Structure 1
Amino acid sequence: MAFDGLFIHSLLHELSPEIIDGRLSKIYQPFEQDLVLVFRKNRKNKQLLISANAQYPRMYLTKQSISNPDKAPTFVMVLRKYLEGSVLQSIEQVGVDRIINYHFSNRNELGDEVELVLSVELMGRHSNVILYDQQDGHIIDLLKRINPDENRARILLPKAKYELPPLKPGINGLNVTENEFKDLKNKYPDETELAKNIDGLDRDDRLELSGYLEDDYSYSSFKTFFDQFDNPRGFVLKTPKNKRKIFCYLPYHLDLEKESSDPNLDHALDEFYEYQANRDWVKQRASQVERIVKNEQKKLSKKIIKLKKQLDLAENSEGYRIRGEILNANLGMVKPGMTKVELPNYYDNNNPIEVKLDPALSPARNAQKYFTKYKKLRDSIKHVNEQIKIAENNLQYFDSIQTAIDNANPQDIEQITDELINQGYLHKKQTKKRRKKITERNLNKFKLTSGKTVLVGKNNYQNDWLTLKKANKSDYWFHVKNMPGSHVILQDDNPSEQDIQEAAEIAAYFSKGKLSAHVPVDYVQDKRVKKPNGAKPGFVIYTGQNSIEVTPEEKEVLTKKIN
């Protein structure tokens, strides 16, 4: 179920009492399509997330820690000017459409009271957040300014008159009386036709309503369906293809399997969208970094293939030496101007071997040319092997950066960016920022069944800090074998077999092998882990390790996480 009109109606049942009459104390835009509004009410902060993301526009109260950017975009500066410190008077949904109006009262520079509306339109790719003056209806500013050529239905620019988007007329099922239902039943003898004409339903809701009416085409059945939206809960269900969906009621007529339920819809939404939103926010912040990583991976992969071809040629260069020797032994058989000659190969029972010649050179010089090429190729083997090793190490390094991005939170991207700047892969920005000090709060933290603590680095800087500075020498260090992954520290000097198993599963989950069924994990006391001089961030060597093979299960790992 998407954020359709009826879902929004249900959400407002919980949301409105939480923030109405609250004072808007803080506004920021952590990401391009997302706003965070912090309301202060009853000495508590309530954090409202509003997203105009085209794929899944949404709004709900969130407890996630979302960082405030150093520089505020223009729209946020306008919102702060007009709304910061104002009181939220009411929240109104336009019918059962995906438009929600937040009504604020504030005072302007002259001290006069003004009424402002923040209109949130959660309409797929047309989603937007628009601030306008209620008195004259003119737009003050909006999240997405739309060129008139792109939208001829209405003008979405500052100073234009605010108009509702074109809305498809339909029946508001929440207000239908018993007599009106009888008329509708006569008009639509087929229950699916009636469901198609009800406003505010997405495809899943429409199918569920049709199921209710197929069971019993009566007002009682109709009302039972719609009453659910006035008493919402959060239900997460899975499709047969394991796609997760969230509902504000429990559907019975859809091919879905219940995963979880929550009496609080806001809380359910926060948890449901946490992973996907996190991935999107990371993607936005890491776009430049990821582009560099992928380019370097591509270049290094091509370089390694080319070097291995060179190595293969060098290791199979005996043919040049043999042709040089045979040519030297048969100089008299070579006539001026010849481009090739067939000579008896005494290394192969005198079978003929073709020797290519440069007609501009003498027979002896041609032979010398073969010896020179042979020596050059043989001498290159050591150098090519060294270059292959360097390229493979660099590729492994960029694989580790990609793994860190895949496991990162938005606030971790800054450290990954700093790392690439310090390694010379990214140019420094003009504004010099001081690198934030790494603390235990930056790490992922887990509690095992035994109560012991496991710490996990989320990027190479954190990995180095965790392993080389934070961990006690007697703690146990875990890392997946021969692939990129996080450094994992089990804070204990005498772990049980179960502790080792659980810590290894965490290490496997935070690695490139997180989706594999059998992941080998090395573990050893931290005192046996060393960092070679000049090694890249995150790279260490270790000795005396043991290994264990595990299968990382996402649910099992994340239930141990400490927020």
Structure 2
Amino acid sequence: MAFDGLFIHSLLNSVAPALVGGRLSKIYQPFNQDLILTFRKERKNQQLLISANAQYPRFYLTKQVISNPDKAPTFVMVLRKYLEGSVLQSINQVGVDRIINFCFSNRNELGDQVQLDLSVELMGRHSNVILYDQTSGHIIDLLKRINPDENRARILLPKAKYELPPLNPGLNGFELTESDFNQEMADCEPAAFAKKVGGLDRDDRDELTGYLEDDNTYSTFKIFMQQFNKSGAFILKTPNNKRKIFPYLPYHLDLVQESTDSDLNHALDEFYQYQSNRDWVKQKASQVERIIKNEQKKLSKKIIKLNKQLNQAENSEGYRIRGEILNANLRQVKPGMTKISLPNYYDNNQPIEIKLDAALSPARNGQKYFTRYKKLRDSIKHVKQQIDIAQNNLAYFDSIQTAIDNAEPQDIDQITDELISQGYIRRPQKQKRRKKITEHNLNKFKLTSGKTVLVGKNNYQNDWLTLKKANKTDFWFHVKNIPGSHVILQDDHPTDADIAEAAEIAAYFSKAKDSAHVQVDYVQDKRVKKPNGAKPGFVIYTGQNSIEVTPEKDRVLSKRID
């Protein structure tokens, strides 16, 4: 289900007690549409994530560690000026709509008490976060400034009067009396009544319709509504394996229960973690991906051009043959000729046409063919070397793209550092000191046998894991001839089952993650070496064995540990 009004009502049952009365101590905007507000209450910190993302606008308490960017956007600077250090007085939902007001109390520069509202509007592509003064009703600033010609319903700019968006609230199910219910139901079917109730998305309307079709009474309606006064969560799957989250367990929808969670915030944190990570990585890696695509495009064109040159060089015998035939028949060449047909004694004296430069003598024309032949033959070794270099560089950028596909937001900084060190990105004047890689940076998995598997998420981590972290007797895994993560099984005598599970993890964290029958090489770490001058992440190894696996996402990620 979507973040509809009744879902928000359920969520506030746990968010409000955790935050109201707390002091707002930290505000930052890690990504374009996302804010993190840290509250201090009862000697504990609580992180509130607010997202105005058009596809999945949301808010909830999060445990995720999200880095604070070096430079704060304008909106964050305004929020810090007006809200940092203020006390959250209350959280109010507008009816059962997708608008939530966080009401703060603070003092201005003159020491006067001021009341400020941070209004969070979760309305698809119209989602926004707006800071306004309660007393004057004027907007101080907002996450998305909208030009008047883009929104004629209201003005969404600083200093404008704050107005609610046009709403179609419908019936408030929490306030509906029995007589009102009976009156509404007197002349309509359950499905039509469900459409009149505000704050419901399609799934909730279908579920309410099912309740009322079973028993068309006010008590049944109240039972349905009371489910939104709880704070637990249920994760369910559709027939096509799409995951949905509910604050109650629906009985009338075609869904299969996957899991439950007593904490709705925790469930939301896990539910959105993968999708939000993908979105955040995409935002943070946009510059890197642009460079990668440009380099891949240039290298692909270069390889095509070099292969054409190599093919021409390897088929250059025609120049030598023409030169020899021309030298053997110099007397037949007349001044001013641009071409001549002579018998080819390499092909049963069949006529061969030879182009001539009218400005050169016959002997010089023959020498020109020999020079061309020698130049092409001599270029073969150089062209092959250039093809190898270009193919290795292309494989390197494939490995960078694979690392981005498997990355979490905090990993992008290391990938950017790598491209800076390789000269593909200009080094900033004030570059942050590179953080030391530790085991905490890696992905960690526990196999069925209890043994630990470590997975690098980028080339720097791969090098550190393979060359520094791993014991020489540990087993090293990598997909065969495909970009992917280095994987270390921390054991010197793994069973066949251990090898199969570790290989599946290696296959999943590679470019072949969506493929079947993936070949994975494995060998003891002591047999893995890094050539001098090799690019980050590139190693060579000998004495390996191979295993064929088919990675399955759910099976792999179920073994992951924090």
State the TM bucket, normalised to the shorter chain: over 0.9
In the TM superposition, residue 354 of structure 1 has moved relative to its aligned partner by 2.8
Q: Name the counterpart of 1:492.
A: 491
Q: Name the counterpart of 1:41.
A: 41
* In 1: Cα distance, 2:340 partner to 2:456 partner: 65
8 Å contact 2:96–2:169 — kept in the other structure?
no
- AA aligned to 1:343 is L
* In 2: Cα distance, 1:437 partner to 1:35 partner: 27
8 Å contact 2:36–2:47 — kept in the other structure?
yes
Q: Name the counterpart of 1:560.
A: 559
* In 2: Cα distance, 1:108 partner to 1:393 partner: 60
Q: Does 1:184 align with 2:203?
A: no
Q: 1:318 to 1:196 in 2, by over 3 A?
A: same
* In 2: Cα distance, 1:303 partner to 1:215 partner: 69
Q: Name the counterpart of 2:361.
A: 362
Q: Does 1:454 align with 2:458?
A: no
Q: Name the counterpart of 2:17.
A: 17
* In 1: Cα distance, 2:301 partner to 2:207 partner: 53
Please, which moves more after superposition, 388-397 or 189-198?
189-198
Q: Does 1:511 align with 2:516?
A: no
- AA aligned to 2:127 is S
Q: Name the SS for the 1:66 alignment partner.
A: coil
Q: Name the SS for the 1:137 alignment partner.
A: coil
Q: Name the counterpart of 1:471.
A: 470
* In 1: Cα distance, 2:327 partner to 2:194 partner: 93
Q: Name the counterpart of 1:398.
A: 397
Q: Name the SS for the 1:414 alignment partner.
A: helix
* In 1: Cα distance, 2:245 partner to 2:300 partner: 42
* In 2: Cα distance, 1:331 partner to 1:226 partner: 103
Task: Show CA shifts across 1:397-418 (max 9, x none).
Answer: 1111111111111111111111
Task: Show CA shifts across 1:106-132 (max 9, x none).
Answer: 233444332221111111111111122
Q: Name the counterpart of 2:310.
A: 311
- AA aligned to 2:81 is K
Please, which moves more after superposition, 248-257 or 435-444?
248-257
Please, which moves more after superposition, 425-434 or 273-282?
425-434
Task: Show CA shifts across 1:149-180 (max 9, x none).
Answer: 32222222222221111112422233323322
* In 2: Cα distance, 1:338 partner to 1:205 partner: 89
8 Å contact 2:97–2:169 — kept in the other structure?
no
Please, which moves more after superposition, 393-402 or 81-90?
81-90
* In 2: Cα distance, 1:106 partner to 1:200 partner: 32
Q: Name the SS for the 1:163 alignment partner.
A: coil
Q: 1:29 to 1:362 in 2, by over 3 A?
A: same
In the TM superposition, residue 359 of structure 1 has moved relative to its aligned partner by 3.3
* In 2: Cα distance, 1:77 partner to 1:199 partner: 36
Q: Name the counterpart of 1:373.
A: 372
Please, which moves more after superposition, 82-91 or 128-137?
82-91
- AA aligned to 1:175 is E
Q: Percent identity?
A: 80
TM-score computed with the length of structure 2 as normaliser? 0.94
* In 1: Cα distance, 2:533 partner to 2:356 partner: 49
Q: Name the counterpart of 1:532.
A: 531
Q: Name the counterpart of 1:550.
A: 549
Q: Name the counterpart of 1:200.
A: 199
* In 2: Cα distance, 1:331 partner to 1:132 partner: 94
In the TM superposition, residue 482 of structure 1 has moved relative to its aligned partner by 0.8
Task: Show CA shifts across 1:424-461 (max 9, x none).
Answer: 10011121321111112111122222222222211111
Please, which moves more after superposition, 259-268 or 277-286?
259-268
Q: 1:525 to 1:180 in 2, by over 3 A?
A: same
- AA aligned to 1:354 is E
* In 2: Cα distance, 1:66 partner to 1:435 partner: 17
Q: Does 1:108 align with 2:108?
A: yes
Which aligned pairs between 1:155-554 and structure 2 lie closer than 5 A? Answer: 155-187=155-187, 189-554=188-553
Task: Show CA shifts across 1:263-315 (max 9, x none).
Answer: 32211111010011111111111111111011111111111111111111111
Please, which moves more after superposition, 461-470 or 74-83?
74-83
* In 1: Cα distance, 2:174 partner to 2:8 partner: 13
- AA aligned to 2:505 is I
* In 2: Cα distance, 1:334 partner to 1:213 partner: 103
* In 2: Cα distance, 1:252 partner to 1:337 partner: 95
- AA aligned to 1:38 is T
In the TM superposition, residue 352 of structure 1 has moved relative to its aligned partner by 2.8
Q: Name the counterpart of 1:151.
A: 151
**How many positions carry a matched residue from both structures?**
562
CA RMSD of aligned residues (A): 2.1
* In 1: Cα distance, 2:11 partner to 2:477 partner: 44
Q: Name the counterpart of 1:136.
A: 136
Task: Show CA shifts across 1:246-265 (max 9, x none).
Answer: 22233344443433332322
* In 1: Cα distance, 2:530 partner to 2:399 partner: 16
* In 2: Cα distance, 1:82 partner to 1:479 partner: 52
TM-score computed with the length of structure 1 as normaliser? 0.94
Q: Name the counterpart of 1:5.
A: 5
* In 1: Cα distance, 2:57 partner to 2:196 partner: 24
In the TM superposition, residue 11 of structure 1 has moved relative to its aligned partner by 1.2
Q: Name the SS for the 1:78 alignment partner.
A: helix
* In 2: Cα distance, 1:432 partner to 1:179 partner: 68
Q: 1:280 to 1:330 in 2, by over 3 A?
A: same
Q: Name the SS for the 1:468 alignment partner.
A: helix
In the TM superposition, residue 95 of structure 1 has moved relative to its aligned partner by 0.9
* In 2: Cα distance, 1:41 partner to 1:482 partner: 53
* In 1: Cα distance, 2:528 partner to 2:135 partner: 68
8 Å contact 2:527–2:541 — kept in the other structure?
yes
* In 1: Cα distance, 2:364 partner to 2:256 partner: 80
8 Å contact 2:476–2:525 — kept in the other structure?
yes
* In 2: Cα distance, 1:389 partner to 1:52 partner: 47
* In 2: Cα distance, 1:336 partner to 1:247 partner: 92
Q: Name the counterpart of 1:78.
A: 78
- AA aligned to 2:73 is P
Q: 1:177 to 1:368 in 2, by over 3 A?
A: same
Q: 1:195 to 1:336 in 2, by over 3 A?
A: farther
